Structure 1
Amino acid sequence: MIEWHVLDPSQELASNNGAAILCVARELAAAAREQGTESFIVGGRRGSIDIAEALPVLKQPVHDGHEFRWLLERSYRFLTGHCLTPGLRFFPSTSLPPDVVILHNLPWAISAIRRRFPDAKVILYVHNKILNKLPSSSLRAALGRFDDIVCVSEYIRNELEVRCRFRTTASPKFRTLHSAVRSNLLFTERDPEFDVVYVGRLVPEKGVHILTEAAALPGRTWRVAVVGGKYFVPGAEEDPYVQQLHSRPAAENLDIEFTGPVPPAAVVEFLSRARVAVVPSVWEEPAGLTLLEAMASPAAVVASRVGGMPEMSKAGGVIFVPPSDPQSLRGAVDDLLADEMKRKLVASKGRDETAGRSWEDVYADLTAT
């Protein structure tokens, strides 16, 4: 059997790209290959491509250099779930046609896939909120073209079901598949070097500014590592938000180290040397991989109670706090730093919660239908 995991053509198919959707697709493809399925990561030809399972056969959308046409296309996709242009466009490929196509957050690509591979089973893998402006009838019609719809959390599934306004309590086509920890993240407990570590993108919705505000509140001085940049890959220019974050420690005498984007091995190193890992998101995070990876580390975890994140821990492996609340974040972290026994207990519970699920389990659930 041949299986395609199709990503947006703008996604860089590089091993140093820490984008969550790419990570999920790679883990599922690896689990499929273990079972003898020929599984590929299908995307564009942007940037460096060094992933062995990559199949870069998608062309970048062409809009004749007209920014207005590009904006019109993006807006039309967002509002209707369809494309003005042909949607996905393919380079010639010598690969055999897929038996299964998994579209990762690409509901608008269904027409192109159905035309090109009419016999393939097509699955929509929903990582975030999609098609937000569609009325219920249009949303039902758009999603009804898929053979299966998989959501990364109950939060995302419930949100879609409510907007679809099904007459029954749930649609049999919707399924929830919680993710697992990346298989190449192997943690070893080290002597803690940092009081607090954040891993992720430096964008406002991730709440890094809430972390710096919490660090500036009265109390012991935290030694903080902020691991990541605005983008997932190194070399990209930073924006005013990142520059503002960088300027605060010097202005307020805070002990914060900014690393920029780092490869997965370095993420393991920083989390292994942390007393507490924080995930201070201020948006409705669907189901953060960063949270799962922090739970698998030797650090205790403090996270915002938003979106699908509470689903990731139901047995005390995460201390949840209200979002956009530096005082609550400060209190939760200080409480753990002051009580080593409690800190180690929370960390141990987090590791136990993540240890029971692998990507092989996720793939088995995906193919169970």
Structure 2
Amino acid sequence: MTVLTILPPRESYSSNSAGAISLLVSRLAFPGDVVLGGPVDGAPLSGGRFRPIHDLGRAWHWLSHSARYQLSCQCVARRLRPNLIEVHNKPQLALAMSRFAPVQLILHNDPQEMRGARSPREREKLLSKLHVITVSDWLRRRFLEDIDAAPVTVMPNCIDLAGLPPRAEPRAREILFVGRIVADKGVDAFVRAWGNVGRRLPGWSASMIGADRFQKNAPRTAFVSAVEREADVAGVAHWGYQPYEVVLQAMARASIVVVPSRWLEPFGLTALEAMASGAAVIASRNGGLPEVVGDAALHANPDVPDQLENAILHLASNDSERKALSERGLVRARQFDVIMARQRLKFIRTQTMELSGRSHR
């Protein structure tokens, strides 16, 4: 079966600056899958057969970037004649591609904030033309809000447990934040909390990794500058953007990883990576995070006074509780291993083809 996977136009499939969607696509891709995306800086990720489409839109220079991207994808589909097309996070593009083969629209973010899926009528149209997959049940509920019940498949994000760096033993007495340095991710609450409790935890340190974007040349915003100034005062080390391998190594060393998102997280991949790395996790309850961590995290609201501070104090001061949470996290993470995820994806693809009435070539 030939599967054509289409990334969002701004999503980088570069091994140097891949975002969460690209990392997931690369993990799940079968050898014959063709992955379409914009041009990459350096080597592409290893999953599938990556095909950049930067040259195909030049003939339509008067059109918008998204329109040129769509036409480029359609040209590839017309020549490739895939059995199945998977479109990530772009409802309008998914509809346009449904002319060429059965389509699976895979949603990683809130559909009610996407063009082509904001209204109930738009979402009903999508369901009539293609198969919808969401990475969490929270996203599934958002998609089905205010429309009649309909089949929407939940396929959680996954992680390659075998590819993680070795877990440090003993672990460093370090508390870590990893993520975009934006207000939605609660990094300012992390800095605030450490500033309030750090003096009460001798021998412990706090660090944050991230920038405004998942790229080396991420813009230096006023928010980033303000948070880093506050971090200097609070005693939080800040390392800026780091490659994915470095992030995983830091998680494998740290005793505690804090995920204090204010944003309604569609899934919460950072929390999964932290659990799989053996860290004890503190997380908010927003969006799909509770589905990811289950009972393997301590919950704290970043904006309720003292909640985050008390959670940090409790775990840092309690070795047995920290160890128990770490062990539960490791067990929990096994449910999201890439081996099982690829088996599930293969089943979903076959089911979609059968329902479409089109046979494999």
TM category, shorter = 0.7 to 0.9
For residue 123 of structure 2, what is the amino acid of its counterpart?
Answer: L
Residue 77 (structure 1) aligns with: none
Q: CA 1:109–1:325 in 2, change beyond 3 Å: closer, same or farther?
A: same
* Shift in Å, 1:18: 3.9
Match of 1:195 among 174, 178, 188: 174
Q: Is the Cα–Cα contact under 8 Å of residues 12 and 19 in structure 2 kept in the other structure?
A: no
More helix by share: 2
**For 1:180 and 1:110, how far apart are their aligned partners in 2?**
23
Matched, 1:295 2:289: no
Q: CA 1:186–1:271 in 2, change beyond 3 Å: closer, same or farther?
A: same
Q: CA 1:5–1:256 in 2, change beyond 3 Å: closer, same or farther?
A: same
181-190 vs 205-214, greater mean Cα deviation? 181-190
**Structure 2 residues not aligned, in runs of 5+:** 352-361
* Shift in Å, 1:277: 0.4
**Structure 1 residues not aligned, in runs of 5+:** 74-82
* Shift in Å, 1:58: 5.5
* Shift in Å, 1:255: 2.1
Match of 1:284 among 245, 264, 267: 264
Residue 185 (structure 1) aligns with: 164
289-298 vs 49-58, greater mean Cα deviation? 49-58
What value does the CA root-mean-square deviation take over the aligned residues? 2.7
Deviation per CA, 1:298-328: give whole Å up to 9, x if none. Answer: 21000011101101122x3111112423621
Q: How does 1:185-224 map to 2 (within 5 A)?
A: 185-218=164-197, 219-220=199-200, 222-224=204-206
Q: Is the Cα–Cα contact under 8 Å of residues 44 and 58 in structure 1 kept in the other structure?
A: yes
Matched, 1:273 2:253: yes
Superposition TM-score, scaled by structure 1 size: 0.83
Residue 150 (structure 2) aligns with: 171
Q: CA 1:187–1:293 in 2, change beyond 3 Å: closer, same or farther?
A: farther
For residue 4 of structure 1, what is the amino acid of its counterpart?
Answer: L
209-218 vs 152-161, greater mean Cα deviation? 209-218
For residue 159 of structure 2, what is the amino acid of its counterpart?
Answer: V
**For 1:46 and 1:271, how far apart are their aligned partners in 2?**
27
* Shift in Å, 1:235: 2.4
For residue 151 of structure 1, what is the amino acid of its counterpart?
Answer: T
Residue 141 (structure 1) aligns with: 125
Q: How does 1:113-152 map to 2 (within 5 A)?
A: 113-115=97-99, 118=100, 120-132=101-113, 134-146=118-130, 148-152=131-135
Deviation per CA, 1:172-195: give whole Å up to 9, x if none. Answer: 2x0111122235323322443342
Percent identity over the alignment?
A: 25
Q: CA 1:321–1:60 in 2, change beyond 3 Å: closer, same or farther?
A: farther
Residue 154 (structure 1) aligns with: 137
**For 1:324 and 1:60, how far apart are their aligned partners in 2?**
47
Q: Is the Cα–Cα contact under 8 Å of residues 10 and 46 in structure 1 kept in the other structure?
A: no
186-195 vs 221-230, greater mean Cα deviation? 186-195
Residue 100 (structure 1) aligns with: 84
**For 1:240 and 1:59, how far apart are their aligned partners in 2?**
36
Residue 44 (structure 2) aligns with: 50
How many residues are aligned here? 337
SS of match in other structure, 2:144? helix
Residue 28 (structure 1) aligns with: 28
Q: Is the Cα–Cα contact under 8 Å of residues 190 and 272 in structure 1 kept in the other structure?
A: no
Q: CA 1:192–1:360 in 2, change beyond 3 Å: closer, same or farther?
A: closer
Matched, 1:358 2:337: yes
For residue 15 of structure 2, what is the amino acid of its counterpart?
Answer: S
Residue 355 (structure 2) aligns with: none
**For 2:278 and 2:56, how far apart are their aligned partners in 1?**
42
SS of match in other structure, 1:234? coil
Q: CA 1:229–1:65 in 2, change beyond 3 Å: closer, same or farther?
A: farther
For residue 145 of structure 2, what is the amino acid of its counterpart?
Answer: V
